[in-house]
Structure 1
């Protein structure tokens, strides 16, 4: 019964995002939607405040697990797979890398600011925690941290893979740890998402950036420009990079992805 009521509330939050005060969550409406006895529900939660505390813990767990934008990762792979012939030469490889950053980071930024889970995550992190009693606050913080840690670990693995196949490695002072790099990138994208609310003319404008495979003078979004600057501080070219071996590995990966897609269509 508890699960059904919380799921009904989560469905509403996922539809409209997290709002301060929870005026849109009427207990009797949720009880009716969940199809559970009213008297039993009020024995589980003796007040709306108690219910909201439990709901916030659920939201913290759910939203933290939905922060990753899988489509951004797919876009990055697709650009690489479509330009394998350019990855053997350092100059062309850099242009491909810049094209991935230019396209994927703008997409990621747009996806973030439109994401209800991210909006709920920000709401929990920046506003609602300060208004909760300490025990609920500690549980929510634990749930947020667990989800955020998993998200950053996943992003760090992706950035390690992406930089490695393009001939880069993390600088020695970071001791092989890509998590600070992933944290900074994530913070810039999310921070620009918040700054977009106050300065959309600056944040959403197009800027001149480095040449890519599509243009010598392409238009860049601000999050992508920021990533180029971050990359230069965290990464360096790998003197032992084997371009031919990496291209062959990518060819096999592309073939495997295509075979899996074909099998999925046939099924």
Structure 2
């Protein structure tokens, strides 16, 4: 690797980029510790090869740096910001394409929707746990709820709320699209955003139990949720199907 030159010559913008890149790489390798103990500015300054004085002009303390790092970590993993990961979206599109005849009746649309949820949720539960963004989200959530008065907690909370808000907006768009495809509408008093929040809260809780006892959560359940034959479901898929059914109803334009 070519020597970029004396540290003192680095402009503030380049220093910011290099510091955040070094921190993101560390989190990818080690994870983010609950007390952010592995995010020490002095260590990162050495790893990034940047001038110490510039770093402390940009971030007066570690708490200020962590606020910017939170955004950088999620930007490095855009799947969290855009909703379902790319492979899950492909599974949804494939399930939609494979059931065109089912769209002729309300019952058929309901069965097709359940198949989409059965396939997509199982895949997404398996894929999301391995992403940096999801692991960081869980760690920061735990730190903020620990009651230990995390340094810079309010700024970090605001940053995380903004990022999660974008994620929920994107998921609301996905649910809007599914509702349109299957002739559904939200029940009076509820919105697609409410649906997104409910599903995310369920996934959060199930993810917590999954880390304690993965077999209890991941073991397939063979069940029929409608008139169609029984199929193998992930427990989260059954829960999402139940939430979806409770939050939506058949639209006026849907025929039997």
Classify the TM-score, shorter chain.
Answer: 0.7 to 0.9
Q: Please, which of 99, 103, 118 is the counterpart of residue 119 of structure 2?
A: 103
1:232 aligns with 2:245: yes
| CA distance in structure 2 between the aligned counterparts of 1:78 and 1:101, rounded to whole angstroms | 12
| CA distance in structure 2 between the aligned counterparts of 1:158 and 1:238, rounded to whole angstroms | 17
1:167 aligns with 2:188: no
Q: Please, which of 78, 82, 96 is the counterpart of residue 94 of structure 2?
A: 78
**Where in structure 2 are there 5+ consecutive unaligned residues?**
1-14
Distance 1:21 1:127, change over 3 A: closer
1:60 alignment partner in structure 2? 70
Helix, strand or coil at the partner of 1:169: strand
Q: Please, which of 219, 227, 231 is the counterpart of residue 205 of structure 1?
A: 219
So what's the TM-score if we normalise by structure 2?
A: 0.80
Distance 1:36 1:157, change over 3 A: same
| CA distance in structure 2 between the aligned counterparts of 1:43 and 1:152, rounded to whole angstroms | 34
Select between 154-163 and 1-10 the one with higher mean Cα deviation. 1-10
| CA distance in structure 2 between the aligned counterparts of 1:239 and 1:39, rounded to whole angstroms | 65
2:12 alignment partner in structure 1? none
Distance 1:144 1:22, change over 3 A: closer
**Where in structure 1 are there 5+ consecutive unaligned residues?**
244-267
Q: Please, which of 129, 150, 154 is the counterpart of residue 132 of structure 1?
A: 150
| CA distance in structure 2 between the aligned counterparts of 1:45 and 1:170, rounded to whole angstroms | 45
Structure with the higher fraction of residues in helix conformation: 1
Post-superposition offset of 1:85: 3.4
Q: In 1, are the aligned partners of 2:106 and 2:250 still within 8 Å (CA)?
A: no
1:69 alignment partner in structure 2? 84
Post-superposition offset of 1:240: 1.2
1:254 alignment partner in structure 2? none
1:35-81 per-residue CA deviation (whole Å, 9 max, x = no partner) reads 323455466667xxx22x13321233245554233322232122112
| CA distance in structure 2 between the aligned counterparts of 1:37 and 1:61, rounded to whole angstroms | 23
RMSD across aligned C-alpha pairs, in angstroms?
Answer: 2.6
Post-superposition offset of 1:200: 2.1
Post-superposition offset of 1:32: 3.5
Q: Please, which of 169, 172, 179 is the counterpart of residue 193 of structure 2?
A: 179
Post-superposition offset of 1:23: 4.6
| CA distance in structure 2 between the aligned counterparts of 1:28 and 1:64, rounded to whole angstroms | 23
Distance 1:160 1:40, change over 3 A: closer
| CA distance in structure 1 between the aligned counterparts of 2:224 and 2:210, rounded to whole angstroms | 23
| CA distance in structure 2 between the aligned counterparts of 1:149 and 1:25, rounded to whole angstroms | 25
